[in-house]
Amino acid sequence: MDQGREGKGRKNHQSSSYGVRVATGRYGATMSSAGDAITSLYSARAAHAPPPPNQPPDFPVRVNFDQGLPDPRYFPVERLKRHLVATLDEHGRDALRYFSTGGASEMQYGYLGLRDELARWMARRDGRELDPEGIALVNGSTDGLALAVNAFLGPGDGAVVESATYPHTKRYMAMTGAVVRSAALDDDGLDIGSVEEQLVRLRADGLRPKLIYTIPTFHAPTGTVMPLERRRALIALAAKWQVMVLEDNCYYEFAYGTPPPPTLLALDESGFVLQSDSFSKYVAPGLRMAWLAGHPAAIKAIVRVRQDFAVSQLLARALERYLAAGDFDAHLVALRGHYREKRDATRDALWKYARPWVRFREPAGGFYFWLELDERVDWDRARAALADQGIAFRPADRFADDDHGHGKADERRFVRISPIQVPLEDIEPGIAALGAALAAAVASPDGQRRER
The site for ligand PLP (CB under 6 A) is made up of 68, 140-142, 166, 215, 220, 248, 250, 278, 280, 285, 290
Strand pairing partners for 417? 369
Smallest gap from Cβ 17 to ligand PLP, in A, equals 39
Q: What is the C-alpha to C-alpha distance for residues 191 and 184, in angstroms, rounded to an integer? A: 6
CA-CA distances (angstroms) from residue 22 to 3, 16, 427? Answer: 15, 7, 51
Smallest gap from Cβ 285 to ligand PLP, in A, equals 4
List of long-range contacts for 259-263, beta carbons under 8 Å, 24+ apart: 260/217, 260/218, 260/225, 260/364, 260/365, 261/217, 261/225, 261/226, 261/227, 261/228, 261/231, 262/126, 262/127, 262/228, 262/231, 263/125, 263/126, 263/216, 263/217
Smallest gap from Cβ 7 to ligand PLP, in A, equals 30
Report the candidate in 414, 369, 419 with the shortest Cα–Cα distance to residue 392. 419
Smallest gap from Cβ 249 to ligand PLP, in A, equals 9
- Strand runs (DSSP E) across 16-115, as ranges? 21-23, 63-64
Which residue, 99 or 368, has its beta carbon nearer to ligand PLP?
368
C-beta neighbour count of 410 within 10 angstroms: 18
Which residue, 68 or 76, has its beta carbon nearer to ligand PLP?
68
Angle (nearest 5°) at CA 299 between 297 and 301 = 75
Smallest gap from Cβ 170 to ligand PLP, in A, equals 11
The alpha-helical segments, DSSP class H, found in 127-224 are 141-152, 167-175, 192-204
Which residue, 140 or 261, has its beta carbon nearer to ligand PLP?
140
Which residue, 241 or 370, has its beta carbon nearer to ligand PLP?
370
Which residue, 50 or 286, has its beta carbon nearer to ligand PLP?
286
End-to-end Cα, the chain, rounded Å: 51
Which residue, 149 or 220, has its beta carbon nearer to ligand PLP?
220
Smallest gap from Cβ 412 to ligand PLP, in A, equals 22
Q: What is the C-alpha to C-alpha distance for residues 178 and 172, in angstroms, rounded to an integer? A: 10
Smallest gap from Cβ 231 to ligand PLP, in A, equals 17
Which residue, 248 or 378, has its beta carbon nearer to ligand PLP?
248
Strands 290-293 and 189-190: unpaired
Q: What is the C-alpha to C-alpha distance for residues 255 and 74, in angstroms, rounded to an integer? A: 17
CA-CA distances (angstroms) from residue 332 to 61, 73, 77, 87? Answer: 28, 14, 14, 22
CA-CA distances (angstroms) from residue 219 to 213, 222, 279, 348? Answer: 12, 5, 17, 21
Residue 436: which H helix or E strand, with range?
helix 424-440
Smallest gap from Cβ 429 to ligand PLP, in A, equals 25
Which residue, 63 or 220, has its beta carbon nearer to ligand PLP?
220
Which residue, 176 or 280, has its beta carbon nearer to ligand PLP?
280
Q: What is the C-alpha to C-alpha distance for residues 128 and 266, in angstroms, rounded to an integer? A: 6
Query: What's the gap between Cα 435 and its chain centre?
Result: 28
Contact between 390 and 400 under an 8 Å Cβ cutoff? The reply is: no
Which residue, 165 or 194, has its beta carbon nearer to ligand PLP?
165
Residue 179: which H helix or E strand, with range?
strand 179-183
Smallest gap from Cβ 25 to ligand PLP, in A, equals 32
Which residue, 160 or 202, has its beta carbon nearer to ligand PLP?
160
